[in-house]
Structures are given as structure tokens and as C-alpha cells.
Amino acid sequence: MPLEMQAKLLRVLQTGEIKPVGDVVTRKVRVRVIAATNRDLEKALAVSEFREDLFYRFNTFTITLPPLRERTEDIPVLAHHFLRKAEAKVNKRVDRFAPEALDLLKRYPWPGNLRELENIIERAVVLATSRQVDVAHLPLHLQEPAPATLRAGEGFLQARARTLALFEREAISRLLAEARGNVSVAARRAGITRRNLHRLILKYRIKTKHFLLAPQNRADETRILPAT
């Protein structure tokens, strides 16, 4: 929040008055403020990015919420909440997770916290072809544990090739999902020729027909066979 806006908000909290844009009459208001931030406000105070007087106005009662990776026991409840939300948004009946898919959600570190979880579940609902979210509907970076980590007996070049292949497969799948299986559109968005994208689709044995938007607002799942 810019410092100028902070000053205006502080004035409202102190006086209990507002003046709507374009109005000449000051109006009394009674409000209760619940504020959230992902920043360390004490550090922001130290570098003059947050007003000290506003900080103490807000700091009456503080709840510190740990990142999602530190409260994995909440993931099933949150996942089902976002599933219901995605059902309504996409207008599609998907009401459960396969146990293996839920286990992957619980083991993933979630660097993007709740927003990342919500986006991944919405994506899974779009790709699902039944009432269940399966492992195949989750992004490949959730399915592949630590892709950049060297496996036992694996050399650097092997690890690099495996990581690049994982990235390419996931990127192509996302492009095709966004383009509803239209290879020309996906190639244009990727900035490569249709021929080169088609070659990669064949390389990773991706079935483009499963990205087509079927009748009655049904989106099909991504079917990716193991690379040979």
C-alpha cells in the first residue's frame, strides 16, 4: 500500500469519517478492519515503507499464519474447499480426490501457498473426465519428486536431460490445455513453429485430442504416456 494511501486510511481510522470522491459532505462510518499481509511489516517500518502509527493501529490483535508447507494437515480440508469452488466456477461435477492425488498434494512444499493450491485444483477440475481428480490431472512437477536432484548413479548430463524433458512435457501440456488442443494456437503462443511443436508432441507421446473442449462444457484430462 502506498504511503499516501496509508495516510488516508489512518485518517479514517482516527476520525471515523470519510468523504466520497466528488462529494462535499463528510460522512461518519463505523468499520472493523481485518488486514492481511505476506510481508514482514516490522522490516517495512525499518526502511520507512510502512507508517509506524498505522502499524500500531493494526497491531491490536495479530494472528500469524504459517505457510502451507508447515501445516500439511490443513491441505485436505483446503483442497476440498477449493474443489467445491472450482466445481461452481467451471460448472462441472468433480467432487473427490484419488488417495494418490491427495497424497501428492500433501507432500508438495507449496512455494505459492494457497493461491498455488487453488490454481492447481482448478486446473485439475478442468482436465478431469470423471467426478474424481486423479494423479494425471496434477501438474508434472507435483508428480515428479525433486526433478533437479541427482538420482543414485546418475550423471550430470543425464540429470540435465531428464529435467529438460520434464519441463518440456509440462510446458507443452499447459500450452495445449490453454489452446484447447489447437496445435497452431499453442505453437504461436510458445513462439515456435507448428512443425517443431508437433515434433515435441510426438516425442513425449502427448494426445492432443484429450485437450479438446468437448460438448456440455466438458474439458478432457491430459493423458501423457511415460517417455521412452
If you ran DSSP here, which 8-state letter would residue 144 be given? Answer: S
The Cα-based distances of 228 to 75, 138, 155, 204, 224 in angstroms read 34, 21, 18, 8, 12
Estimate the share of the chain in helix, then strand, then coil, as percent rounded to the nearest 5.
55, 5, 40
SS (H, E, C) 70-110: HCHHHHHHHHHHHHHHHHHHHCCCCCEECHHHHHHHHHCCC
Q: Which residues contact 182 (CB under 8 A, 6 or more apart)?
A: none
Phi, psi of 173 (to 5 degrees): -60, -40
Calpha distance 150→161 (Å, rounded): 11
Q: What is the mean pLDDT of the chain?
A: 82
pLDDT digits (tens, 9 = 90+) for 176-213: 877 878 899 999 988 999 999 999 999 888 877 666 64
Q: Which domains does the chain have, with CATH numbers?
A: 3-58 (no CATH), 67-143 (1.10.8.60), 153-228 (no CATH)
Q: What is the residue type of 16?
A: G
Per-residue pLDDT reduced to its tens digit, 130-150: 899 988 888 877 876 544 555
Length of the chain: 228
Give the confidence band of 227 by pLDDT, cuts at 50, 70, 90.
very low
> Distance between CA atoms of 154 and 85, rounded to whole angstroms?
42
pTM listed for this prediction: 0.54
